[in-house]
Chain A
Amino acid sequence: MGKYILKRFGAAIFTIFVAATITFFIMNLVPGDPFMSEKAHSETVLQALNEKYGLDKPLIVQYKNYLVNLLKGDFGVSFKLQKNREIKDMIMESFPISAKLGAWGILFAILCGIPLGCIAAFKRNKWADNIIRVLSTMGISIPGFVVATTSMILLAVKLKWLPTSGLKEPTSYILPIFTLSFYPMCYIARLMRSSMLEAFSQDYVRTARAKGMSNFIITFKHALRNSLIPIITYLGPLVGYVLTGSFVVEQVFNIPGLGRYFVKAISNRDYMVIMGTTIFLAAFIILMNLVCDLLYKLVDPRIKLGDE
């Protein structure tokens, strides 16, 4: 077990290294630089800026310097978005906010999505199923920014029930969490429905019926547990992405989370922020996969890890 963890840990470091390397060179290949603006810089200003941030050195030297600093725990400073601010501080400050919203979002998506999917399967081709199918199809096809803006206009501007932006009071969490969870909730409901319908055609369900069990018991006791597997497969990566923040939700509801940095750093060519957020996201997802695999082994000892 110890050997396995060590091996996986080594592989994780290697994966992060590869991700960092690819990101570093691709981002430098793309035209533009962090200092461009409508008004041109003079040559001396540009030269001073490049010197200050070490961009005057050959790319390979910049890469080496970055890795050396990274090993010392130094993620560098922002060149543009929050000039001279430590990337570490930016991530430490914004990640908990994104993670909290994301966690509530996933919880909401599961708690609503699974029952909706079950009801749709249980009431197949009845009016309840039709309503849920229409709702979930809409949820998957409507882009996030439309859900965000529409819910904001309706609930905040027209009805004035909720605040429009920020995270000042508990009610200000409602709209962002709803927007964040709407798509996964609908997706889970659809997955759950089809997975449950498949379970209904299995032999053990037929046996249960033959034994005279009620539909309710069959659905929620026997079929449900087996139908959860595709949901869980979907939830794995979802947790990773949602906890690290959503650009649309954070932009529309003005939430100071990590998700905005992913997109803004790229469009502003804020190199160190691009690197910092990419490495953080990669490390987070890899860590989650590792935790999942280890928990597998704890729950089911028959599962072999590595070369065991």
Chain B
Amino acid sequence: MNKKRIKRASAMLLVLVFLLITALTGCGKKDTDDNNNNTGNNNGNNNGNNNGNDAEEGFAIDLNVGPEPETLDPTMNTAVDGATYINHIFEGLMKIDSKGEIVSGVADNYKISDDGLVYTFTIRDDAKWSDGKDLTADAFVYSWQRLVDPETASDYNYMVDAVKNANEIMAGTVDKSELGVKAVDPKTFEVTLNVATPYFLEICAFPATYPLREDILTANPDTWTQDSSTYIGNGPYVLDSWTHQSMIVMKQNPNYYGVADLGPDTINFHLIEDQNTILASFENGEILFGDNLPSEEIDRMKDNGLNIVGQLGTYFYCVNVEDEVMKDAKVRRALALAIDRSYLVESVAKGGQQPADTFVATGLSDVEAATEFHEVAKKWYSVDPADYDKNVEEAKQLLVDAGYPDGKGLPSIELMINPGHEAIAEAVIYMWKEKLGINSTISSQDWAVFIDTRKNGEYQISRHGWLADYNDPISFLDMWVSDGGNNDAQYTNPEYDALIAKVKSSADREERITAMHQAEDLLAADMPIIPIYFYTDLYLISDKLEGFYSSPLGYKYFMYTSVKE
């Protein structure tokens, strides 16, 4: 019996050894290859500790701006980190400079017709693709038509909805060749708009409008971004290699017109997902820039490389106005007033956020470019901590008016969140209970389920967040039109819809801005949303890294950086 068992044990050990040997030896060669690749990719990786070969290739910087991107296709990308990679590989007609201003990109100059409807861009003579071919206006015609083509299914097709026929093409009623864009000659690109759009030049600096190579995309429609030989751009850098889930390596594009001004010869984008790992890599000196960190480490890192800058976005709670309890605007306003936003940003979120007293975030221009829309806007309530008690008193009175004195008679409210938002939600429901006597619970749902539930309106109050796509308040306010795709509050107000329609059809800046202020005032009165704070962008940056800048949309630019020893 024992002998048999020993033999069995030996058999199993043999199996194990066999498998281990297979795995260890079988993977050995592959791994050597991987290592070779990595070594190749990481030339000059150690900020000055280069070996002979690396020194020839100049200096490299190691950074993190996000995890593995979903796509590097400018038309299909929706992510902020994706846009950062794309901005290094491509360049649009216009671009954002280090001061955050819109300046000429591959367009040498542009003319706007008197009625503001026709934009004529002249493309630089020395603008070339990374494979050396000339960049012509056809590339823009192709990419803009591809963007609005329903078959492409780009999420950002609405970015060019001001262009003639764009909406009809997106709806599938008109062919994409009818889009109001044309190549007048190889170096002249003309765009005709439906309505004068004050922020149109900014759209021309948006990744979805970058030029694309028709020959390459036609030959490799789905895979052109996956290989450096087909991922041809016209920007300052070229894709050298993309080791999935690990690293994207970019090298200077010798055919870029401004190559002489570029900083690093090689940029190694480490694709790290875990916030603790990003922080550890930053503290260990393995990366000079990290685009994320655990919120509990914010305080400690404030003097150790953490930068906090404003972002065009608002964190808020969305209220389902069709819900039996929530349909009363008095209840919604009472809930909004009882939140101590200063406490939330200082003691819970701790990321330098600004308490939100309107929906449209700070950082967007008003009639005068130097004045902010938020400064002029009528505030929904005071966020001054000194006024909090007064807010609570008003909230209590509103509950009395709504028929729920001291919260009595009001059924328990469910606040829906997705994981990662518990701390704020817990603080908020505590405030509702403590100040108004309202019972509420938190329901946390997996991201995919959460989005589905919110979209279907199967909730009472839900966490929400919105980041603008461009520097114009309409990017926020357009969200709440009746039957709008993002109107998860199920909010309907014909007056509001009329104001938004007026904004979209008007070319007069003052008229547009005034209508947008009026629209926001309507939101304040109806309160389908409860603003919490305005987003900030947090990143870790080594004091050795110079020449870095970012845009209010959160895009990061490393092409002009240098490393101070």
Q: Within the assembled complex, what's the spacing in Å between the Cα atoms of A81 and B79? A: 12
- A142 within 8 Å of B by Cβ? no
Interface residue from B27, B68, B151 paired with A82 (Cβ < 8 Å): B68
- B448 within 8 Å of A by Cβ? yes
Q: Within the assembled complex, what's the spacing in Å between the Cα atoms of A179 and B461? A: 41
Cβ B244 vs Cβ A256 within 8 A: yes
Closest CB in chain A relative to B247 CB, distance in Å = 8
- B98 within 8 Å of A by Cβ? no
Closest CB in chain B relative to A80 CB, distance in Å = 6
Cβ A166 vs Cβ B270 within 8 A: yes
> Can you show 25 pairs from A to B with CB atoms below 8 A apart?
A38-B464, A38-B466, A40-B486, A44-B170, A49-B153, A83-B71, A83-B76, A84-B226, A85-B244, A96-B26, A106-B16, A106-B20, A157-B280, A166-B38, A166-B246, A168-B35, A228-B9, A228-B13, A232-B12, A235-B16, A254-B272, A256-B244, A288-B15, A295-B18, A300-B4
Chain B, 109-151, contact with A by CB distance < 8 Å: what is the 0/1 string? 0000000000000000000000000000000000000000011
Task: Tell me which residues from 219 to 271 in chain B have a Cβ below 8 Å from any Cβ of chain A.
Answer: 222-223, 226, 243-247, 270-271
Interface residue from B16, B172, B277, B452 paired with A32 (Cβ < 8 Å): B452
- B485 within 8 Å of A by Cβ? yes
Also in contact, A32 and B449, with CB within 8 A (given A204-B2, A251-B274): yes
Cβ A168 vs Cβ B38 within 8 A: yes
A contact patch SS: helix
Closest CB in chain A relative to B409 CB, distance in Å = 33
Task: Tell me which residues from 429 to 479 in chain B have a Cβ below 8 Å from any Cβ of chain A.
Answer: 446-449, 451-453, 455, 464-466
- B320 within 8 Å of A by Cβ? no
Closest CB in chain B relative to A175 CB, distance in Å = 11
Q: Which residue of A lies closest to B154 (CB)?
A: A45
Closest CB in chain B relative to A171 CB, distance in Å = 13
Closest CB in chain B relative to A32 CB, distance in Å = 3
A residues whose Cβ falls under 8 Å from a Cβ of B: 30-33, 36-49, 52, 77, 80-85, 90, 93-94, 96-97, 99-100, 102-104, 106-107, 110, 149, 152-153, 156-157, 160, 163-168, 204, 225-226, 228-229, 232-233, 235-236, 239, 243, 251-257, 260, 267-269, 288, 291-292, 295-296, 298-300, 302
CB-CB under 8 A from A45, the residues of chain B are 150, 153-155, 157
Chain B, 205-231, contact with A by CB distance < 8 Å: what is the 0/1 string? 000000000000000001100100000
CB-CB under 8 A from A110, the residues of chain B are 16
Q: Which residue of B lies closest to A254 (CB)?
A: B272
Cβ B172 vs Cβ A44 within 8 A: yes
Interface residue from A39, A43, A299 paired with B7 (Cβ < 8 Å): A299
Also in contact, A229 and B23, with CB within 8 A (given A48-B150, A81-B70): no
Cβ B23 vs Cβ A100 within 8 A: yes
Task: Tell me which residues from 525 to 558 in chain B have a Cβ below 8 Å from any Cβ of chain A.
Answer: none
Q: Within the assembled complex, what's the spacing in Å between the Cα atoms of A269 and B448? A: 7
Q: Within the assembled complex, what's the spacing in Å between the Cα atoms of A233 and B9? A: 9
CB-CB under 8 A from A260, the residues of chain B are 245
CB-CB under 8 A from A42, the residues of chain B are 157-158, 170, 485
Interface residue from A46, A49, A81, A107 paired with B20 (Cβ < 8 Å): A107
Interface residue from A48, A81, A100 paired with B31 (Cβ < 8 Å): A100
- B8 within 8 Å of A by Cβ? yes
Interface residue from B13, B223, B281 paired with A164 (Cβ < 8 Å): B281
Interface residue from A49, A80, A252, A296 paired with B11 (Cβ < 8 Å): A296
Q: Within the assembled complex, what's the spacing in Å between the Cα atoms of A4 and B71? A: 47
Interface residue from A47, A163, A300 paired with B8 (Cβ < 8 Å): A300
- B49 within 8 Å of A by Cβ? no
Cβ A37 vs Cβ B70 within 8 A: no
Q: Within the assembled complex, what's the spacing in Å between the Cα atoms of A168 and B152? A: 38
Q: Within the assembled complex, what's the spacing in Å between the Cα atoms of A128 and B226? A: 55
Cβ B78 vs Cβ A82 within 8 A: no
Cβ A99 vs Cβ B14 within 8 A: no
Q: Which residue of A lies closest to B72 (CB)?
A: A83
Q: Within the assembled complex, what's the spacing in Å between the Cα atoms of A225 and B26? A: 29
Closest CB in chain B relative to A27 CB, distance in Å = 11
Also in contact, A256 and B153, with CB within 8 A (given A37-B451, A295-B15): no
Q: Within the assembled complex, what's the spacing in Å between the Cα atoms of A100 and B31? A: 8
Given A83-B76, A166-B38, A256-B246, 17 more A-B residue pairs with CB atoms under 8 Å apart are: A37-B451, A39-B486, A41-B485, A42-B485, A96-B26, A100-B31, A149-B276, A165-B272, A166-B246, A166-B247, A167-B35, A229-B5, A232-B13, A233-B12, A239-B19, A257-B245, A299-B11
- B42 within 8 Å of A by Cβ? yes
Q: How many A-B residue pairs have CB under 8 A?
A: 225
Cβ A295 vs Cβ B11 within 8 A: yes
CB-CB under 8 A from B155, the residues of chain A are 37, 39, 41, 45
CB-CB under 8 A from A160, the residues of chain B are 284
- B346 within 8 Å of A by Cβ? no
Closest 10 CB pairs of A and B: A32-B448, A103-B23, A256-B245, A48-B153, A40-B485, A232-B12, A299-B11, A84-B222, A100-B27, A83-B71
Cβ A156 vs Cβ B455 within 8 A: no
- B376 within 8 Å of A by Cβ? no
Also in contact, A156 and B284, with CB within 8 A (given A204-B2, A232-B12): yes
CB-CB under 8 A from A257, the residues of chain B are 245
- B30 within 8 Å of A by Cβ? yes
Closest CB in chain B relative to A242 CB, distance in Å = 10
CB-CB under 8 A from A226, the residues of chain B are 2, 5-6, 9
- B283 within 8 Å of A by Cβ? yes
Q: Within the assembled complex, what's the spacing in Å between the Cα atoms of A226 and B272? A: 46
- B412 within 8 Å of A by Cβ? no
Cβ B31 vs Cβ A232 within 8 A: no
- B495 within 8 Å of A by Cβ? no
Cβ A254 vs Cβ B23 within 8 A: no
Cβ B19 vs Cβ A288 within 8 A: yes
Among A33, A38, A229: residue with most chain B CB under 10 A? A38
Also in contact, A225 and B6, with CB within 8 A (given A83-B76, A295-B11): yes
Also in contact, A32 and B451, with CB within 8 A (given A48-B151, A84-B223, A156-B284): yes
Cβ B246 vs Cβ A252 within 8 A: no
Closest CB in chain A relative to B439 CB, distance in Å = 27
- B273 within 8 Å of A by Cβ? yes
Cβ B7 vs Cβ A300 within 8 A: yes
Closest CB in chain B relative to A294 CB, distance in Å = 9
Cβ B24 vs Cβ A253 within 8 A: no
Q: Which residue of B lies closest to A251 (CB)?
A: B274
Q: Within the assembled complex, what's the spacing in Å between the Cα atoms of A235 and B13? A: 9
- B406 within 8 Å of A by Cβ? no
Closest CB in chain A relative to B145 CB, distance in Å = 15
Cβ A292 vs Cβ B277 within 8 A: no
Q: Within the assembled complex, what's the spacing in Å between the Cα atoms of A166 and B466? A: 33
Q: Within the assembled complex, what's the spacing in Å between the Cα atoms of A255 and B270? A: 11
Also in contact, A31 and B448, with CB within 8 A (given A37-B78, A167-B38, A236-B12): yes
